[in-house]
């Protein structure tokens, strides 16, 4: 199972466990709510998907790396209390509320979300004193004498023994009470994620050529050698930061993230070429249509005569350049849509108001609402950014109206409508520019590589990229559809040939 399939299964499980009847009671028996146990190599995104599921399902998330905890923090501290049994008072030991269970209740109170995921990472690497507690947790859904609240899915993750010497094997009794999902590294799935997360273009281009370099973990007598999905993503962030700061990128830096010498060396060489080809081909000018025809033909000849690696890196540079444009449009589109929705609310708000000072009153309400939801941790970083943009836009509208001495509400809202139309026109102009860039890119690819594997890589890259796919769905792109149709025909033809060959063998 790959990480994408596991994510979908967790979402489905959350929905199933939290079904309610007409009276609002949970219908799935708690005894049958098996915890989910994700087992797989390190750095493939087991923790990340929990955050994504919680966000997409709008539920709470409490995550713990259990190796950082003692038995006392998991179970609670002992205290002496008095109880009366058969008319006789006796002193017994009782445990305070587990820190982990307490964190669940804190999350519920802080966010207002009564349902969620309690995620325990590295669960099979606990200390000897904590191991029985973890088995009890998986089997009975309790820490000590305290149960996990209703509506909370228990999920855990661990690494197989070949990756960690501290691993403890679960017995059959425990395994028979969990849903074990064995996760494997999958480049195709990760590439979809990588486009969404804006992973550095040099990494996407490199892995397009060197698929077997995506994931590698070895724990030998000579040392630990590993390259993981986490390593590629972290490397991407440092590359972007160093480039922005103008700091030199060295092979040693790459080796700190890709802990396998031959892969680190290979990627560093590819990265240097990626930067060099970016300068040599001037693809930014080519995409924008600013490059003279004579110069463009020189670039076409250069690409035609290029090595296999250079062709792939140039294709990656084109995809990376277009992705920047898609992201710019997506941001502008999201902001325009958010402002439009807020103006609908503003129009209703102004209905019974006497003058345009009501706009400032409306904006203040938005600010207070945002502050409350931020305090309750109900917004993602992207949602916060969008709402802050909407508030700034409303403030700019208000300033324009005051400068123009508009006081009457009907005239004021009409002026706001005009300002919003200007905003929408900028979005439209951005979309037109990007459509032109797409046409330029396909023309260049066709002249350089025809229907070769580079074009296949280019079309596949656009298809995998959710930003590109969304733009093309909305505005279309004839060369993309033509190439996609041709590629689909080729796949069908190849499949038929394989079927015919297998029949001849019988």
Angle at 97 between CA 95 and CA 98, to 5 degrees: 100
Residue linked to tokens 């990756």: 163
What is the structure's pLDDT at 394? Answer: 94
Q: Of 6, 14, 100, which is closest to residue 49 (Cα–Cα)? A: 6
What secondary structure does DSSP assign to 191-231, as a single string? HHHHHHTT--HHHHHHHHH-GGGS-EEEEETTEEEEE-HHH
Give the β-pairing of 36-39 and 78-85.
Answer: unpaired
CA dist., res. 33 & res. 18, Å (int):
10
- What confidence score (pLDDT) does residue 344 get? 93
Dihedral over alpha carbons 363, 368, 369, 375 (to 10 degrees): 150
Q: Is 161 helix (H, G, I), strand (E, B) or coil?
A: helix
Closest CA to 333 of 192, 471, 480: 471
Sign of CA dihedral 497, 498, 503, 506: positive
- Return the closest-CA partner of residue 144 out of 70, 68, 67, 90: 70
| 456: nearest Cα among 489, 496, 499 | 489
Q: pTM for the complete prediction?
A: 0.75
Close Cβ partners of 180 (under 8 Å, ≥ 6 residues apart) = 37, 39
Candidates 111, 142, 138, 112; CA nearest to 123 is: 138
Distances (CA, A) of 44 to 169, 185, 205, 416, 417: 21, 6, 20, 48, 48
pLDDT for position 173: 73
Separation CA 441–CA 264 (nearest Å): 31
Name all domains of the chain by residue range, CATH numbers in brackets: 3-71+108-184 (3.40.50.300), 323-506 (no CATH)
Q: What is the pLDDT of residue 269?
A: 93
| Short-list 402, 390, 336, 335, CA closest to 363 | 390
Are 376 and 110 in contact, with CB atoms under 8 Å apart?
Answer: yes
The answer to whether 117 and 155 have CB atoms below 8 angstroms apart is: yes
pLDDT of residue 217: 81
Q: What is the CA radius of gyration of the chain?
A: 29
| Cβ within 8 Å of residue 301, ≥6 positions away | none
pLDDT at 71: 59
CB of 218 closer than 8 Å to CB of 262: no
Residue ranges of E strands in 10-162: 36-39, 60-65, 78-85, 88-95, 116-121, 142-143, 146-147, 152-158
Contact by Cβ (8 Å): 378, 59: no
Residue labelled with tokens 């009457």: 408
Per-residue pLDDT 10s for the chain (506 aa) are 888 888 999 999 999 999 988 888 889 888 888 889 888 887 788 888 888 898 888 898 988 876 665 556 666 666 677 778 777 887 776 655 577 788 888 888 888 888 999 888 877 776 666 777 777 777 778 876 778 888 899 888 887 766 666 666 777 877 778 888 888 888 888 888 888 888 999 999 899 888 899 988 877 667 778 898 889 999 999 999 999 999 999 999 999 999 999 999 999 999 999 999 988 888 888 888 888 989 989 999 999 888 888 888 999 899 988 998 999 999 999 999 999 999 999 999 998 888 888 999 999 999 999 998 888 777 778 888 999 999 999 999 999 999 999 999 989 999 999 999 999 999 999 999 999 999 999 999 999 988 888 888 888 888 888 889 899 999 999 989 888 877 665 555 555 556 555 554 55
At 337, phi and psi to the nearest 5?
A: -65, -40
Whole-number pLDDT of residue 339: 94
């Amino acid at each position: 199972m790959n990480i994408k399939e596991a994510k979908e299964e967790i979402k489905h499980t959350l929905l199933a466990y939290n079904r309610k009847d007409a009276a609002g009671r949970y219908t799935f028996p708690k005894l049958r709510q098996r915890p989910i146990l994700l087992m797989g190599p390190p750095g493939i995104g087991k923790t990340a998907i929990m955050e994504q599921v919680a966000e997409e399902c709008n539920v709470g998330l409490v995550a713990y790396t259990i190796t950082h905890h003692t038995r006392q923090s998991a179970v609670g501290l002992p205290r002496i209390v008095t109880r009366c049994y058969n008319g006789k008072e006796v002193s017994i030991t009782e445990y305070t509320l587990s820190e982990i269970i307490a964190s669940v209740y804190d999350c519920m109170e802080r966010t207002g979300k009564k349902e969620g995921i309690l995620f325990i990472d590295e669960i099979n690497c606990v200390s000897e004193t904590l191991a029985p507690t973890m088995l009890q947790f998986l089997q009975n859904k309790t820490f000590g004498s305290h149960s996990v609240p209703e509506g909370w899915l228990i999920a855990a993750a661990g690494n197989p023994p070949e990756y960690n010497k501290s691993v403890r094997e679960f017995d059959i009794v425990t395994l028979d009470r969990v849903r074990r999902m064995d996760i494997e590294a999958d480049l195709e799935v990760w590439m979809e994620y990588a486009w969404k997360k804006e992973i550095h273009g040099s990494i996407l281009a490199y892995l397009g050529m060197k698929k077997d370099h995506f994931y590698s973990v070895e724990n030998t007598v000579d040392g630990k050698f590993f390259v993981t999905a986490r390593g590629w993503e972290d490397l991407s962030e440092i590359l972007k930061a160093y480039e922005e700061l103008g700091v030199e990128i060295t092979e040693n830096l790459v080796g700190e993230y890709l802990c396998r010498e031959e892969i680190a060396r290979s990627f560093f060489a590819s990265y240097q070429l990626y930067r060099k080809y970016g300068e040599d081909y001037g693809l930014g000018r080519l995409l924008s249509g600013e490059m003279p025809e004579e110069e463009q033909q020189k670039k076409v000849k250069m690409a035609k005569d290029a090595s296999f690696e250079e062709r792939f890196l140039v294709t990656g540079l084109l995809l990376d350049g277009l992705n920047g444009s898609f992201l710019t449009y997506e941001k502008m589109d999201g902001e325009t849509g958010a402002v439009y929705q807020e103006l609908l609310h503003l129009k209703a708000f102004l209905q019974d108001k006497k003058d345009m000072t009501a706009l400032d009153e409306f904006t203040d309400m938005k600010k207070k609402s945002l502050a409350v939801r931020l305090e309750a941790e109900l917004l993602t970083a992207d949602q916060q950014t969008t709402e802050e943009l909407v508030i700034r836009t409303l403030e700019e509208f208000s300033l324009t109206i005051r400068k123009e001495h508009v006081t009457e509400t009907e005239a004021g809202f009409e002026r706001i409508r005009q300002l919003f139309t200007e905003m929408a026109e900028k979005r439209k102009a951005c979309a037109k520019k990007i459509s032109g860039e797409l046409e330029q890119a396909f023309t260049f690819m066709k002249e350089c590589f025809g229907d070769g594997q580079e074009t296949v890589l280019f079309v596949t890259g656009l298809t995998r990229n959710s930003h590109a796919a969304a733009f093309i769905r909305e505005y279309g792109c004839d060369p993309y559809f033509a190439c996609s149709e041709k590629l689909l025909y080729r796949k069908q033809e190849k499949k038929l040939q394989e079927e015919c060959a297998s029949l001849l063998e019988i």
